[in-house]
């Protein structure tokens, strides 16, 4: 269902997606990095993407927008193979938001392999069903 209108969007596409790659996804909101300290990006709600329904709201921990709650309530629907690319040094999205790593939430029954890529893009994590 569409979070803001409640409209039915159709069945899951999972069976059609073999590999899903999430790149720098703000799966729990955004966290601005100020002097090495993470500040929830929507704490002041002045950024246009801070809508509490469909935005990247992470203003008062542990609150998340309805959209973020919706995409995070189910695990593994993205595809058969899930890759997440993110940086621990991302100054816009941040690495953690409200003590949650912003990368895709992976079910505990999945095996993950993490590879160091470069000093800028820290890790590539590949997770497959165990």
Question: pLDDT tens, 15-40?
Answer: 898 888 777 777 777 777 777 677 77
How many structural domains comprise the chain?
1
User: Distance (Å, rounded) from C-alpha 24 to C-alpha 17?
Assistant: 19
Q: Is 82 a residue whose pLDDT tops 60?
A: yes
Q: Among 47, 54, 64, 45, which residue's Cα sits nearest to residue 102?
A: 64
Report if residue 31 sits inside a domain.
yes
Q: Give the C-alpha distances (Å, rounded to integers) separating 45 from 22, 57, 69, 119.
A: 25, 8, 18, 32
User: Distance (Å, rounded) from C-alpha 111 to C-alpha 128?
Assistant: 6
Report if residue 56 sits inside a domain.
yes
Q: Are 50 and 39 in contact (CB under 8 A)?
A: no
Give the chain's mean pLDDT.
72
Question: pLDDT tens, 92-116?
Answer: 677 677 777 666 665 434 445 555 5
Question: pLDDT tens, 60-80?
Answer: 777 788 888 888 887 777 888
Cα dihedral 24/46/62/127 (nearest 10) = -10
Report if residue 93 sits inside a domain.
yes
């Amino acid at each position: 269902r569409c979070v803001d209108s409640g409209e039915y969007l159709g069945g899951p596409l999972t069976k059609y997606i073999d590999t899903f790659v999430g790149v720098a996804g703000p799966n729990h909101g955004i966290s601005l990095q100020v002097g090495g300290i993470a500040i929830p990006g929507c704490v002041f709600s002045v950024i246009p993407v801070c809508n509490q329904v469909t935005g990247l709201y992470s203003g008062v921990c542990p609150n998340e927008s309805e959209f973020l709650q919706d995409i995070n309530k189910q695990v593994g629907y993205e595809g058969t193979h899930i890759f997440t690319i993110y940086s621990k040094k991302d100054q816009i999205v941040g690495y953690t938001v409200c003590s949650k790593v912003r990368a895709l939430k992976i079910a505990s029954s999945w095996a993950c392999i993490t590879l160091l890529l470069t000093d800028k893009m820290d890790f590539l994590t590949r997770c497959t069903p165990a």
